[in-house]
Amino acid sequence: MTTKCDVPSGGADGADAFVESPKLVQVEAETRPDFKELKKIEKKRREILLRAELPFWRIIMFWSGTCLKEIAADSLVWLTIIIYVGIRIYANHIDFVPDSVEMLSKTNIGILGGFLSFFLVLFVNQTNGRFLEMYGFSKACSGRIQDIAGVARTQLPPEVGQKLVRHFNAAHVAGYVGLNAIGMGSPYSKTFFFDHYNADNKLVTPLLTPEELKVLSHHDMDHSGLCMKELVTWCQMDVAQARKDGYLDSYQEKFMHSKILDFRAAMDGMYDYTDQPPHFFYIHFLVLLSALYLPLFAIDTAYAGGWGAEKAIGLDILQGIIVFLQCIFVVGLRSLGTKMIDPYGDDLEDLSVINYVEGTLEICATIMGAKQPANKEVSGVTTGLL
């Protein structure tokens, strides 16, 4: 997705994994989707999520967000079908039964198919578990920010609470940008993602002031998770200062620190899973089995379709459909598992990051702007009712 130079440097959590020239960083940022394109992808994702409960005849008619798009572009599928069609064309042009037909009748391709099915289902189950775990991490980050916003609104002065919530939301957005440092990269850049929400959010002020951005400028947000880590520490410093100023007691301070650390742990979980995808050895094993099995299955099915006086066009078509269904099963499962490995990319099947960020900002704005009617008005209504 992105291009990085090959000069390594130290760093943890995907931080500062590469030393890059400013020119290279600028070129990479420009190659990633701008905010309008990201919103377009996000809208399509949300539409696809609503298709799950549609009638079967409507689900079958879709192309985007389905396995058909992947299968149509897979060369192994076409090779398998060509092998089957080629053998059946040959069978329909001769009137005798080749000796190889009897030899192939003694083989048992079904055993290999059974083993492959087991490993494919295991692979999909593993990647689906990763996908749901990372979804849980994303929602946990949003939840912890809301917890802090609730306490900040009720226990802190407005300016102190706003500052804390600003820093926390900035850490949230910066965390998704920093994912580009590890794994397969991220479509969310500082230029097109963080800067947009820094200037245009539901809160009263920008997430970070120019002075705060200058302090953080030594971090390369596009290629490091350290900016997010420092912003999380800023949140802890905000809470500690509020405790010193007498706005919080020790229990409230401990509660807020625990929520902030829970947020950081959830972000770390996202980074950890992204940094360690399923083993390439396992994926290569599945691809190798698929590449061997499907052509063999096509040959076995084609030879079982009838020769000489036993051949029939109707049977050829039926057997061809079976071969195609087997391709859908094998290539579809493999593609499904591969799609779920990296849920923070730009595929339509990936997680709705923009929805999580904007939803969190909107909820925080609602919490920080919440107002109750004056006490005397409430007491007056109560007296009237009695």
- The gap between the terminal CA atoms of the chain, to the nearest Å, is 67
d(CA 302, CA 348): 37
- pLDDT value of residue 100: 83
Cβ atoms of 221 and 230 within 8 Å: the answer is: no
Share the mean pLDDT of the chain.
Answer: 88
pLDDT digits (tens, 9 = 90+) for 181-235: 887 788 999 999 999 999 887 776 789 999 999 999 999 999 989 999 999 999 9
Per-residue pLDDT of 254-299, as tens digits, reads 999 999 999 999 999 999 999 999 999 999 999 999 999 999 999 9
Q: What is the pLDDT of residues 78-117, one digit of tens each?
A: 999 999 999 999 998 988 888 888 887 777 888 888 999 9
Residue 349, token pair as written in the block: 């099947």
**346-to-31, 43, 187, 212, 340 alpha-carbon distances in Å:** 13, 12, 6, 30, 12
pLDDT at 179: 93
pLDDT tens digits, one per residue of 32-87: 889 999 999 999 999 999 998 999 999 999 988 889 988 999 999 999 999 999 99
Q: How confident is the model at residue 169 (pLDDT cuts 50, 70, 90)?
A: very high
Q: How far apart, in whole angstroms, are the C-alpha atoms of residue 344 and residue 133?
A: 13
In whole angstroms, give the CA distance from residue 316 to residue 9.
Answer: 60
Bridge partners of 168? none
Instruction: Enumerate residues 6+ apart whose C-beta is below 8 A from 45.
Output: 348, 349, 350, 352, 355
